[in-house]
Structure formats: structure tokens, C-alpha cells
Amino acid sequence: KAGVTQTPRYLIKTRGQQVTLSCSPISGHRSVSWYQQTPGQGLQFLFEYFSETQRNKGNFPGRFSGRQFSNSRSEMNVSTLELGDSALYLCASRGLVGNTGELFFGEGSRLTVL
């Protein structure tokens, strides 16, 4: 069974640009969550999607947005990039509806903003 796949793995952007990251969850998983990981702030929750609906959102500005498609694949978008957006962006999928559903993480997309 294929794991969570994130693309691209690495990308470099300049300030003011926008970026779109993609996440394909494990087959059959309908929930996708996104996290930002930085050395200073650690791992911070961005948002979660389930059945194409955003279920929960972390404390990030409106420049950060996401969506989920009918096949459960998800994208997140960051507009008007700032230097502080440089981070590892992790996607995680979950299969069970119940509270004990384990999160399965992808390897992440490393974003560098110059």
C-alpha cells in the first residue's frame, strides 16, 4: 500500500510569489491534515480536510489556504510568500472515523523563500 505522497519535495521561491503543494493520501483515507515545521516554532497545525470540507484550522493568516478534491487528494496554497514561510510542510492522512485513527505522514515539501 503506497504511503502519503507529497510533491514537490523541494522548491525555492522568492518573496511575493505564491506556491501550491500537493498531497496524495493513503488509498482509502479521506482525512488530510497539514502541518508547518520550522526550527523555531516546531510543528504547527495548519488545517484538516475531510470529504472535501475544511474541518479545522490552525492559527495562520489567510495567505495559507487549502482544498481537498473528490479523490481525497489535497493541495495547500501560500500566497504572497514571506521569508518566514520557509519551512517543511508535512501532510498527514487518516483513515478511521473514530478517535483512535492514527495519522500517517508524508516526507514533506521543503520550501525555501528567498
Partner 1 sequence: AQTVTQSQPEMSVQEAETVTLSCTYDTSESDYYLFWYKQPPSRQMILVIRQEAYKQQNATENRFSVNFQKAAKSFSLKISDSQLGDAAMYFCAYRSGGGGGSQGNLIFGKGTKLSVKP
Write out the residues near partner 1 by the rule CB under 8 A.
3, 31, 33, 35, 42-45, 48, 50, 55-56, 58, 88, 90, 92, 94, 99-108
> Shortest approach of partner 1 to residue 64 CB, angstroms?
15
Q: In angstroms, rounded to a whole number, what is the distance separating the alpha carbons of residues 42 and 6?
A: 20
CB-count burial class (<10 Å; 0-12, 13-18, 19+) for 114: exposed
> Shortest approach of partner 1 to residue 32 CB, angstroms?
8
> Shortest approach of partner 1 to residue 91 CB, angstroms?
10
CB proximity list for 40: less than 8 A, separation 6 or greater: none
Q: Which is nearer to partner 1, 52 or 107 (CB)?
A: 107
Tell me which residue has cell 505522497: 5
